[in-house]
Amino acid sequence: MKTDTDHTASPMALAAAQRLGECVAQARKRRGLTQAALAQQAGLSLPTVQRLEQGQAQLSTGRLFDVLDVLDPELLQKVVDVVAADTLGQAIQDQRQPQRVRSRRRGF
């Protein structure tokens, strides 16, 4: 059986999860919420919120979105908007697409 420590992620992903957990804890405290209150409002268990705040990277995106929706629904929309914009992906796609060259018709 796999445990939480069996999950492997890149060092960058682990650092981001740790930082995100710290930020969620700060946002929760600023709003005067306990971990239990946040869990209840987000429809999650207390251990799930605790794992998120501890920076455990294996939390599902759906659960993260539930927490963001409680803390700041506009922030949740911004996350979606950033991914939807995908400026880097668009630039890569544009570079891969062949450039069409129209041939000129003679005599016109």
In the chain, DSSP assigns E strands to none
pLDDT for the residue numbered 1? 43
Question: Is residue 22 one of the residues assigned to a domain?
Answer: yes
Tell me what pLDDT residue 107 has.
Answer: 63
One-letter identity of residue 106 = R
Q: What is the pLDDT of residue 59?
A: 82
pTM over 0.75: no
Question: How confident is the model at residue 39, as a pLDDT?
Answer: 97
- Walk along the chain (108 residues) and give the pLDDT tens digit of each residue: 444 445 567 899 889 999 999 999 999 999 999 999 999 999 999 999 999 999 987 888 899 999 999 999 999 999 899 889 998 888 898 888 776 667 676 665
Could you list the residue range(s) of the whole structural domain that residue 66 is in?
11-71
Distance separating alpha carbons of residues 107 and 13, to the nearest angstrom: 61
The verdict on residue 83 lying in a domain is no
Question: Could you tell me the CATH number of the domain that includes residue 33?
Answer: 1.10.260.40
Q: Which of 43, 44, 38, 11 is nearest to 25 (CA)?
A: 38
Task: Examine residue 19 and state whether it is found in any structural domain, yes or no.
Answer: yes
| Predicted pLDDT of residue 7 | 59
Residue 87: inside a domain, yes or no? no
